[in-house]
Amino acid sequence: MPPKRKLTGAQARLFAQICLHYISAAEEGCNDDPDHVPLFSRLSPQQRLNLVKQVMIGVLCEKEPLPPNTIQHTATYRALIEVLFSQLDVESDMQYEMDDVGQDFLNFDEERPIQRFSEKERKENEFNQKLFEYQAEKNLHKMKSKRTEIAEFDVKEEVPGIGDRYTSEMREETMKGVLGLFEGGPFQERAVRDLNNDEKYAFRWRRLCDAAFQEDTLDGDCHIPLCMVNFDWRCQKIDKWQHAINLLFDTYMLDYGNAKNRALINGAISCRSYADPDQLPRIQAIEKHVEILRNIYEASYDPMKMGLDQRCIFALCSTECFYGYGHQDWAKAFISKCNERGIDFTKDGPSKV
């Protein structure tokens, strides 16, 4: 169930930046609880940070064991992938607000067409949504009252996981999207002009991802290496990025163990989920997991140590010598200790781990 191997090179740098970003996301309560991994997102912010720290150490530190073989650690790893998806969406939206980003980058390829609904379709969608919400409220009341017996959650191995990110109707389209990453062979035109500061920032996450893809080469595994993708960091099609990242960090890295674990980890719980009686066993199973995990963590939680997880993530993943106001004294002392030991804090790599 844990990741199959350590991350190194550009892939490690990308993962480290995701973990580092999660500190500020958790502190600000912004995109730190991805809907598609409710087993992770329904834990407290402090517990989520603690799990991110544990997964980070297991994935990045060469001399440490891989993350523990538990459903919560696998859910944390999966949640960090979803956090990266969110950052790519934000970056794609914000690139147009930067003052000095060249049109040759913004118009590099066609954007995904926006689906627009007619007035009739919009009203039908609103009506259907109200029906879902009504049924969801009824089912939620039944679950809380415990008067209704809900079956034990199980998933047959040959049946796609109920909670998968993509529904069965979307699987064929998803497969087409994955194959579309490699059509026409590897991208060739990588030589570009120098980037200014705005352009570096506007494409920061995509450049990190692109570098990680280029280090996924033929190594004996039976998978198509992502160095063969037919796009580079200038690509504006977010669905391509999501498919490729899913291959790199999930398909090529994770073994969920069985279909039940996959379903418990992947898939949002929305009002439509509560409205669907077939989803109720999964929801109940996730809530039981969350309740147990919260009780275990809260029993030993020490508020006096609340900042230690963030500082550990910063120490391992950051290359910048400034950390938030409340951590300034600690950061200065820590960086000073690094210098005494001959460790250049501004550089990533094995010397820091």
Nearest alpha carbon to residue 165 among 64, 34, 292, 320: 34
Q: Which one-letter DSSP state was computed for residue 66?
A: P
Cα–Cα distance, 183 to 190 (Å, whole number): 17
Q: Which residue has the higher pLDDT, 324 or 157?
A: 324
H helices present in 96-194, as ranges: 103-106, 119-145, 168-179
pLDDT above 60 (res 89): yes
Confidence of residue 25 (pLDDT cuts 50, 70, 90): very high
- 297: three-class secondary structure by DSSP: helix
Average pLDDT of the chain is 83
Q: Which residue bears the tokens 């929305």?
A: 270
Q: Which one-letter DSSP state was computed for residue 304?
A: G
Confidence of residue 34 (pLDDT cuts 50, 70, 90): very high
Cα–Cα distance, 236 to 163 (Å, whole number): 28
Kindly report, residue by residue over 174-217, the tens digit of the pLDDT.
677 788 888 887 887 766 788 899 989 999 999 999 999 999 98
Cα–Cα distance, 5 to 255 (Å, whole number): 11
Cβ neighbours of residue 307 closer than 8 Å, sequence gap 6 or more: 326, 327, 330
Q: Which residue bears the tokens 């026409």?
A: 184
Tell me which of 21-25, 179-183, 238-242 is least confident: 179-183
**Is the alpha carbon torsion for 94, 14, 213, 243 positive or negative?**
negative
pLDDT above 80 (res 7): yes
